[in-house]
């Protein structure tokens, strides 16, 4: 009779960890942009073949939305290698893909940027339009989002150009210019319906984040505050400035307070200001983002709307709250 020797330690070295990682189950999700391109069976089979060619063992497919999203299950190859192979096979097709481990795929917390992520505009650029300086402000915004200039300096320079503008302009911008990104309502509603906590964090302004939070159902919001005196913008921001480090701190503090591990967090953003937050989250997604963000983030969505972040978590079409 053989006896298990509990007193003998199990040696776990780098090679053992690599073997365990390669044997773990992973999934690559293919997602087509609604109303623009369909996900065909032939394309799914083509991508499955190129993943298998990396040495992966294919474990089957599951359609999350017919012609819209499909999961390809596999093992024995790293998700990063599978995704690289899939992207090469997709070529110029307007299809997004995200590969990841299946364990912990559905997240318990959502934290996302606002401007050009949850809404379609950059609020500060739209405010500047009413002051007649949109081109100048938008140019600074673009450079900041690309990471060419630091955010606090860019914010101060832009807000200074708004001095003297009536505070009532903010309401006009919200009412006339702010539009929600397609899929934003579904993303927040579906994750919250499944127990997730949703946070809106922005280098923009609380006048807008508070309204977007209420309209879309976020649990909390955090952003900057414009200084107002006698009903007019002073051209200053009330300290402290919420920058990339503050976004990261918001993620860390919120997850700790709610006892949610970082691996259970989904983060999304499009600018350089979002990178630390994206890197800290279990799944950090560069959403229609600047090149510097796409190069840094673990995952990226370039073609689809925000419901892609639900398919990436394994939600089926009929589970999405619309």
Q: Check pLDDT > 70 for residue 66.
A: yes
* Size of the chain in residues: 322
Tell me the pLDDT tens digit for each residue of 220-237: 999 999 999 999 999 999
Q: Check pLDDT > 80 for residue 165.
A: yes
Element (H, E) at 73: strand 69-75
Q: Check pLDDT > 50 for residue 3.
A: no
Tell me the pLDDT tens digit for each residue of 41-58: 999 999 999 999 999 999
Residues noted as catalytic: 113, 115
Decide if 197 contacts 260 (C-beta within 8 A). Answer: yes
Tell me the pLDDT tens digit for each residue of 295-314: 999 999 999 999 999 999 99
> In the prediction, which pLDDT does 5 show?
33
Rg of the chain in Å (alpha carbons): 22
User: Mean pLDDT over residues 130-146, rounded?
Assistant: 94
Decide if 287 contacts 306 (C-beta within 8 A). Answer: yes
Which tokens in the block code for residue 229?
Answer: 């005196």
Q: Which residues contact 234 (CB under 8 A, 6 or more apart)?
A: 163, 227, 228
* Of residues 140, 175, 171, the one with CA closest to residue 158: 140
Q: Residue 274, class by beta-carbon neighbours within 10 Å (0-12 exposed, 13-18 middle, 19+ buried)?
A: buried
Domains of the chain: 14-101 (3.30.70.260), 109-319 (3.40.50.1000)
Q: How far apart are CA 72 and CA 28, in angstroms?
A: 5
């Amino acid at each position: 009779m053989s006896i298990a020797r509990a007193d003998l330690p199990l040696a776990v070295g780098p090679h053992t960890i690599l073997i365990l990682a390669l044997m773990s189950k992973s999934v690559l999700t293919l997602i087509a942009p609604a109303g623009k391109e369909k996900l065909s069976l032939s394309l799914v089979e083509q991508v499955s073949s190129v993943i298998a060619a990396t040495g992966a063992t294919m474990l089957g497919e599951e359609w999350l939305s017919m012609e819209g999203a499909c999961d390809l299950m596999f093992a024995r190859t790293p998700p990063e290698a599978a995704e690289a192979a899939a992207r090469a096979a997709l070529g110029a097709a307007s299809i997004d893909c995200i590969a990841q481990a299946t364990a912990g795929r559905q997240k318990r917390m959502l934290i996302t940027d606002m401007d050009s992520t949850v809404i379609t505009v950059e609020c500060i650029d739209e405010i500047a339009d009413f002051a007649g300086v949109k081109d100048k402000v938008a140019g600074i915004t673009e450079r900041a989002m690309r990471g060419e200039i630091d955010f606090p300096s860019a914010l101060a320079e832009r807000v200074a150009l708004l001095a003297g503008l009536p505070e009532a302009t903010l309401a006009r911008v919200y009412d006339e210019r702010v539009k929600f990104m397609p899929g934003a309502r579904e993303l927040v509603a579906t994750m919250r319906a499944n127990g997730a906590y949703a946070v809106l964090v922005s280098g923009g302004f609380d006048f807008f984040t508070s309204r977007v939070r209420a309209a879309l159902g976020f649990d909390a919001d955090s952003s900057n505050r414009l200084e107002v005196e006698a009903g007019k913008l002073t051209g200053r921001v009330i300290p402290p400035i919420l920058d990339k480090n503050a976004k990261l701190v918001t993620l860390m503090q919120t997850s700790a307070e709610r006892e949610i591990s970082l691996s259970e967090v989904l983060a999304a953003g499009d600018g350089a200001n979002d990178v630390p937050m994206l890197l800290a989250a279990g799944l950090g997604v560069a959403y229609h983002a600047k090149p510097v963000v796409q190069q840094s983030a673990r995952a990226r969505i370039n073609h689809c709307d925000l419901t892609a972040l639900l398919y990436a978590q394994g939600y089926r079409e009929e589970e999405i709250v619309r």
